[in-house]
Amino acid sequence: MTTAVRSFGLSLPDYPWEAMAPYVAKAAEHPGGVVNLSIGTPVDPTPAVIQDALRAAADAPGYPTVHGTAALREAIAAWFARRRGVEGLDPHDVMPTVGSKELVAWLPFLLGLKPGDVVVRPTVAYPTYDIGATFAGATAVAADDLDELDAATRSRVRLVWVNSPGNPTGSVRDAASLRKIVGQAREVGALVASDECYAELGWGEWDLQRGGEAVPSILDPRVTGGSHDGLLAVYSLSKQSNLAGYRAAFVAGDSAIMANLVNSRKHAGMIVPYPVQEAMRVALGDDAHVQAQKDLYRGRRERLVPALESFGLRIHESHAGLYLWSTAGEATWDTISRLAERGIVAGPGVFYGDAGNGYVRVALTGSDERIDAAVARLAETA
């Protein structure tokens, strides 16, 4: 191969999860088998009602619609009204996406961001926000408030990622906090994209089914000041409906930007398959399975929290979502190693930015049997 050919390819960092292999191997030596709580991949079955919808739409000889079927877009608008307090969303301002990860990675490029532009992402964050900035040649900057930026950087901000409930920390922004960052972004002419994929999984004061408040969307009227200008909400059915394998997600918001995104996608593809569009439509109309799944996670969380605490971890934030953001007050890898000795794999906080050092992320995505095994092992004296 010539040197010129070797120079092809993006210079992305190695995929960080490869670094976990030795700890997974260590944990697998446990006689009771590994309990892998490192990745937030759903383990419970895809609800039958959704599987049936997928099967019923299996005859799909023609190309699917990029913009989404009218029925799906109406289901998304109805879901926003019913579940997120966002009334009157125009089904035109909605588009299904092949998963959220794909949208997160490609959005800066699709928005036409360029070298010199700044993408702001949360201080401790899902790593794909940085990758998306890199794809567009833009610069990712970590901040939770635009006041943290110097004036020169602030003037270059074109896109602000908000992630509430957050991965990995489980922090939740209330309506006032969202309104503040929207105001700051509008002041500098930047767009706010809000990744809300854990919105249905609020705990404590955000647990709607236990007397709490619903996690607010960026499109909530308390946040928007009555206009969706410059705002995009990104949502995924992976977590709420155990649909990670279907790649079922959507984006909604600013009318002009949505029209531009739909047009770009007509040229570029990345179309959501018709059977998946149908599965999404049915899933978004059925709240019962979301409730049942949330109850499973609540049970696992209630068992894991005291067990992790008895092991010497303190749980920070974790007000919503699928993770317990935990620290033992030591370096991340020391905790990862001690957990691996008990046959438990957790996610290293350092994968989410420098501010994640000292933390591990423990996912609730284990079967009840595996969670109970973890709880028993955490209680053992060393």
Ligand X SMILES: Cc1ncc(COP(=O)(O)O)c(C=O)c1O
Tokens of 159: 């896109």
CB of 160 to ligand X, least distance (A): 15
Tokens of 27: 């944990």
100 touches ligand X by CB under 6 A = yes
- Please give the DSSP secondary-structure letter assigned to residue 272: P
Q: How far is CA 114 from CA 39, 102, 226, 257, 264, in A?
A: 32, 19, 30, 17, 16
Tokens of 288: 């019962």
Instruction: Pick the piece of the chain touching ligand X (CB under 6 A) from 57-65, 96-104, 106-114, 130-138.
Output: 96-104
Instruction: Pick the piece of the chain touching ligand X (CB under 6 A) from 93-101, 210-218, 268-276, 311-319.
Output: 93-101
The interface with ligand X within residues 35-64 (CB under 6 A) comprises 40
- Phi/psi region, residue 275 (left: phi>0; alpha: psi -120 to 50; beta: rest), is alpha
Applying CB under 6 A, the site for ligand X has a residue count of 14
Q: Which of 89, 119, 124, 249 binds ligand X (CB under 6 A)?
A: 249
Q: Are strands 359-363 and 347-348 parallel, antiparallel or unpaired?
A: antiparallel
* 266 phi/psi in degrees, rounded to 5: -65, -35
371 touches ligand X by CB under 6 A = no
Instruction: Pick the piece of the chain touching ligand X (CB under 6 A) from 9-17, 100-108, 138-146, 183-191.
Output: 100-108
The amino acid that residue 18 corresponds to is E
Tokens of 354: 């420098």
* 377 phi/psi in degrees, rounded to 5: -70, -35
Sketch the per residue contact string, 110 through 139, with ligand X: x for CB under 6 A, - otherwise: ----------------x-------------
The interface with ligand X within residues 164-183 (CB under 6 A) comprises 167
293 touches ligand X by CB under 6 A = no
- Please give the DSSP secondary-structure letter assigned to residue 366: S
365 touches ligand X by CB under 6 A = no
Q: Which of 195, 220, 254, 317 binds ligand X (CB under 6 A)?
A: 195
Which spans of this chain sit near ligand X (rule: CB under 6 A)?
40, 99-101, 104, 126, 163, 167, 195, 197, 236, 238, 244, 249
